[in-house]
């Protein structure tokens, strides 16, 4: 008997959503699901930095990682973030794996509600 798998059912909901204030309103940006090509590109990017990375190349790498993780955020906007913001988001992309990043019950409920909405 042939086992049939619906390829589209294998997709997972966003592991991280960033709420960014823009002109008095918050905009939700969900982390894109990683692709094999993004994994390879990110691994090469980190590998190319080596053990003693140039600070400029390192920050450019952070911007690239965030941009790949959150393609709905314009790169020009990421370049306006503070260094701690950029590094924190980069660390979340690399390490959280879907953990809740807030203990605020209202924020957790809001994030879950956003992930449960059907695709348009």
Task: Dump pLDDT digits (tens) for 72-82.
Answer: 999 999 999 99
What's the mean pLDDT in 21-25? 77
What's the mean pLDDT in 76-105? 76
Residue 35's SS3 state is coil
State the DSSP code for 17: E
Question: 77-94: buried (b, 16+ CB within 10 Å) or exposed (e) per residue?
Answer: ebeebeeeebeebbebbe
At CB < 8 A and 24+ separation, what contacts does 26-35 make? 28/114, 29/70, 29/72, 29/73, 30/70, 30/72, 30/114, 30/115, 31/69, 31/70, 31/93, 32/68, 32/69, 32/70, 32/71
Q: Which residues contact 115 (CB under 8 A, 6 or more apart)?
A: 13, 14, 17, 30
The predicted pLDDT at position 48 comes to: 84
Comparing 85 with 117, which gets the higher pLDDT? 85
pTM over 0.75: no
What's the mean pLDDT in 94-114? 55
């Amino acid at each position: 008997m042939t086992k049939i798998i619906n390829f589209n059912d294998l997709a997972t909901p966003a592991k991280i959503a960033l709420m960014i204030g823009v002109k008095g309103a918050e905009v939700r940006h969900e982390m894109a699901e990683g692709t094999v090509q993004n994994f390879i590109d990110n691994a090469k990017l980190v590998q190319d930095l080596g053990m003693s990375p140039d600070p400029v190349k390192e920050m450019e790498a952070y911007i690239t990682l965030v941009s790949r993780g959150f393609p709905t955020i314009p790169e020009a906007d990421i370049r306006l973030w503070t260094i701690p913001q950029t590094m924190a988001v980069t660390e979340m992309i690399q390490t959280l794996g879907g953990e809740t990043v807030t203990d605020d019950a209202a924020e957790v409920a809001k994030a879950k509600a956003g992930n449960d909405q059907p695709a348009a």
